Structure 1
Amino acid sequence: MALLEDANHAQDVRSVFREMLRENDSLLRKEKRDAEHAGRRGISLGKFGGTKPSLADVEAAALQLKKKAGGSENRLNDLNLLQAAFSFPGEGFGEAFVKIDGALPALVRDLSGQDSSLQLKSTYCCANLALAGPDIGLKVAKAAAPYLMTHLQGMNQILLEASLWAVGSLSGTGIPALKVLEVQGIFPQIIAIMQRYHPPTCSTTPLQESSQTKLQEIRVIEAVLYAATLCVSAGLPDNIKSSDIEGLAAAAVPLLDRSNSIFLARLMYLYFVLSCSESSEEILLNYNVVNKIILLLDEIRVVTSPGSTECSNYGFLIQVLTYIIRTLGNLCSGERGRSTFESMSEIISPILNNVLKALPYLPMHLLKETLWFIMQLLKPYAQWSDGVLQVCQCPWTVLAAPVNSSLKLQSNRFNLGATLISEGTDS
């Protein structure tokens, strides 16, 4: 009976994932059409005569913004120009703006004002200013963080999306900017937003819920995953609080049950970043995440079979596949994780066997990532004899032959031999 339930669950997950892939193209096209209306970060240079703004343009716009010159309409045009200019890193536009006395306070004035159009544009300006580097990112965070946090609590989804891109980008500039956001409560805010977009418990299937999902909600989910990933990535070297890691992991797990694929790559990237901290282990191992993403791994392996490189989803699928393998490798590297994986070896082994067969048709980095993951499983049982992997009397014995075959077939093509894999198991 239990085996039948597992088989039915696997079939449900695969059916949902196939539907996700079918919907992906049409949703991406609609997202592109609606991007300008939603105030996305990207700005068409056609609005500026097809040319990149100059430093003189930025300085003039900053002075006009400071003086409130020309009313709301002209200020909106100035913010449009600044948003576009700040999106070019390495051009000195951010530095030129911040050096003008009063320019940053003027930007914050519109960020905290009552005009929603000016709020939105100034929020994206803050996001793009983060591209100018850590020093400016810290200055913007100090000036804008309280108001961005207020936007995160609001009900305007378009402004919420922009604010999430902004706090994510600012945290990505480094630990000092993240510390400013931490004082303002960024992690509880992100967790609360993620929880707001969990699939409804009354929904009978993930697919039914997906058919009712609004595109703007998907954009907010994508933005909150971006913000969460950047905050965790910046915080891990500085020993981010275990409670924040655990809260983010618990909030991210239910999003896997939403059947929309647009944000799937970002969700898997967040899982990977979280899995780099031992604090996430209990959540990710206990909440059936491993089982679900193993089934996705099998489904993606089928989709990325020979001849699939021409499909429009190929790059997206490779991203998802990469993050799944890295997450699984991190989770199985500890004693508890290894035990969890071994209890599922009857399900995992044939899937990994099939993944190894598909490796000749996938990018080189996936060969290394996959073999590293499998070696985490085999590490306690593996021995090397004349460059050949030998595994006996363990749940993963059936993987020894395909691993050796994969090494033999791919070593010349990718310059990756058994010695490198053997040494890699000690890291």
Structure 2
Amino acid sequence: MSSKRDRFRIHPRRGANCGRVDQLRHRRREDEIALRKEKRDWILNSKRFRYDEPGNEISEQEVVEAAQSLIKGCDNCIEKLQLLRRAFSQGSLYIDAFFSIDNVLPCLVQLFTGPCSDVQLEAAWCLTNISAGMHHHTTAVAKAAAPYLITYLSSSNHLLQDQSAWAIGNLAGDSKQCQDLLHSQGAVSPLINLLQSPVPSVIQSASFALANLARESPHIQRTMLDENILVNILPYLSFDNDSLDILCELGWVLTYLTASSEYVDELVTTGLLMQLVGLLVTFAAEDPNNGQAITPLLRAVGNICAGEDAYSLQAINNPNLLSSLNAFLHSKHRHIIKETLWVLSNMAAVVDAASQILVSELLPSITALLVSTFDIRLEVVYLLCNLGSHSTYHCSKLVPLSILPQLVPLLKSSDLESLSLGLYFSEMMCRLTPESAHQFEECGGIGFLEGLEYHSNEAIRTQANKMLETYFLLGDDQEDVEIN
């Protein structure tokens, strides 16, 4: 069983039923999608406040009074809006105080759409920070102001474009309901157009909005591709210190676009994979600890390599990729290490790629991570299973590393995934490299297997018993010989 994970694709064992393999592949893909939804462990937040210069502390009563002043039509409107935008960035408590005044949001939207550009900008900033609040705050803004925010994306005022794009990013980051509303109202096309803006902050805000719109939304991703988003993204895929902030945002756009297997082939034909690989190689040489940029790029490459075998082979054809991935395994950022292991795991599901990894400088770096944190160790085990599962030759390359003594303790894990991986790796080593059975026995593996004979999980019980019967229990005739 060699597996790609999207996070996993099953490579059939000898004699495995192909239908079963397809089922496992589909199930692993669905499990991983569900896991991503649960963890949502992206480096970038889905919603962001836009902060102002620090000022005096603001009370809830001041927010209420400012809101009441807007309703009445005060002369110092800009001053009140500036107070409110600072207050909203301090948390939902202040946004709730604002909403305690009847009809205050329609009043704010009216100021946003009014004739005074200075007032428009301040009102837009307020809408941006309200939309970064709780779900009910965001949906209120979406219903009241989304069409106007989308309209102003095409404004000639760069400041208003920037603020509107940021607010739309917050709306899109809230829920599928908001994503679909923005999509139906035509937000995608003007946001993509903003990627050609001469103003970096506008491009960055538009990229943030596009990333949140693309998140787990295949139909919106389809619209983006139809609107030629790749043509506008590819020019930014280079190592340029002046545009790294933009690259970080666009990296997440690519992560979401590549997460759907439906679009991977289309994306690879544009040359995206090799451009991403080349960019990772550059980062490894120039800035290997830039987690904000490297993490989404690794995720996108891993997504692509979870597809056709040819994509992993295409990636590994870059002679500097494996050494670059080795550099990332020594990163000070845990998430870079984890994503690197995942990329390697998907590549290792391809026999030729696994062969290259096994003779590279990567193995010591990989096995050294077996003493790392739980999630990192799990990624290492997935990778080792993929590397060894192709043949006796591949598995034999792992024997001198004495991995079994470090993994046998997984057989007493209460975590079902860890336990299953430990069993699979142990069985694989014993089956493909006979000397491993002795090593397994020496480190107490038989006792662990016996402890699993009555495990509550049927698959675990069956696999443990099969290992005992196949590799460690003597038949009656053999026992008589031993006694004599």
The verdict on a shared fold, with TM-score over 0.5 as the criterion, is: yes
Q: Deviation at 1:234?
A: 6.2
Q: How far apart are 1:396 and its partner, in Å? A: 4.4
Counterpart position of 2:471: none
| Whole-angstrom distance in 1 between the partners of 2:280 and 2:314 | 18
Query: What corresponds to 1:363 in structure 2?
Result: 333
* 2:213 equivalent to 1:231: yes
> In the alignment, what sits opposite 2:246?
263
Q: Is the 8 A contact 1:304 1:362 kept in 2?
A: no
Alignment partners' CA distance in 2, 1:424 and 1:154: 52
- RMSD across aligned positions (CA): 2.6
Partner letter of residue 419 of structure 1? V
Matching residue's letter, 1:399: I
Tell whether the 8 Å contact from 2:329 to 2:366 is kept in structure 1 after alignment.
Answer: no
Find the counterpart in structure 1 of residue 115 from structure 2. 114
Report which stretch shifted further, 264-273 or 322-331: 264-273
Secondary structure of 1:261 counterpart: helix
CA–CA distance in structure 2, aligned partners of residues 267 and 354 of structure 1: 21
Q: Distance in 2 between matches of 1:274 and 1:150?
A: 25
Equivalent residue, structure 2, for 1:211: none
Query: Matched residue pairs, number?
Result: 334
Q: Note if contact 1:329-1:373 (Cα within 8 Å) is conserved in structure 2.
A: yes
Contact preservation (8 Å) 2:239, 2:279: no
Within the candidate set 365, 371, 376, 1:406 is matched to 365
- Structure 2 vs 1, CA of residues 303 and 251 (structure 1 numbering), >3 Å: closer, same or farther? closer
Q: Which residue of 1 aligns with 2:260?
A: 277
The equivalent of 2:322 in structure 1 is 352
Give the superposition deviation at 1:245.
4.6
Q: CA–CA distance in 2 between the matches of 1:115 and 1:364?
A: 48
Deviation at 1:246, TM superposition (A): 4.7
User: Would you say the 8 A contact 2:304–2:311 is kept in 1?
Assistant: no
Deviations 1:23-66 (A, max 9, x none): xxxxxxxxxxxxxxxxx9321232xxx31x11111111111011
CA deviation map 1:171-212 (0-9, x unaligned): 211122223222321112212322x34xxxxxxxxxxxxxxx
Distance in 2, matches of 1:257 and 1:301, equals 13
Q: Do 1:275 and 1:281's aligned partners in 2 also have CA atoms closer than 8 Å?
A: yes
- Corresponding residue number in structure 1 for 2:68: 63
**Are the structure 2 counterparts of residues 180 and 344 from structure 1 closer, same or farther at C-alpha, using a change threshold of 3 Å?**
closer
Question: Offset at 1:332?
Answer: 1.1
Once superposed, which parts of structure 1, at least 4 consecutive aligned residues long, lie more than 4 Å away? 422-427
Give 2:313's aligned residue. 342
C-alpha contact 1:360 1:410 (8 A) present in aligned 2: no
Uncovered stretches (5+) of structure 1, i.e. residues with no partner? 1-39, 198-213, 306-313, 382-393
Is the Cα contact below 8 Å between 1:345 and 1:396 reproduced in 2? no
> What corresponds to 1:188 in structure 2?
189
CA distance in 2, matches of 1:350, 1:178: 39
Contact in 1 for aligned 2:291/2:335 (Cα 8 Å): no
Check conservation: 1:246, 1:283, Cα contact below 8 A: no
Deviation at 1:322, TM superposition (A): 1.3
Equivalent position to 1:377, from 329, 347, 354 = 347
Q: Which residue of 2 aligns with 1:43?
A: 52
The answer on whether the counterparts of 1:246 and 1:279 sit within 8 Å (CA) in structure 2 is no
**Structure 2 counterpart SS, 1:360:** coil
Tell me, yes or no, if the aligned pair for 1:79 and 1:122 is still in contact at 8 Å: yes
User: Residues 366 and 250 (structure 1 numbering): CA distance in 2 closer, same or farther, change over 3 Å?
Assistant: same
1:253–1:287 contact (8 Å) kept in structure 2? no
Q: Which residue, 222, 229, 252 being the options, matches 1:242?
A: 222
Q: Which whole-Å CA distance do the structure 2 matches of 1:157 and 1:407 have between them? A: 48
Q: Which has the larger radius of gyration?
A: 2
Letter in 2 for 1:228: L
SS of the residue corresponding to residue 42 of structure 1 reads: coil
Counterpart of 1:324 in structure 2 is 297
TM-score of the two chains, using structure 1 as the length reference: 0.72
- C-alpha distance in structure 2 between counterparts of 1:298 and 1:380, whole Å: 21
1:200 corresponding residue in structure 2:
none
C-alpha separation in 2, matches of 1:361 and 1:160: 37
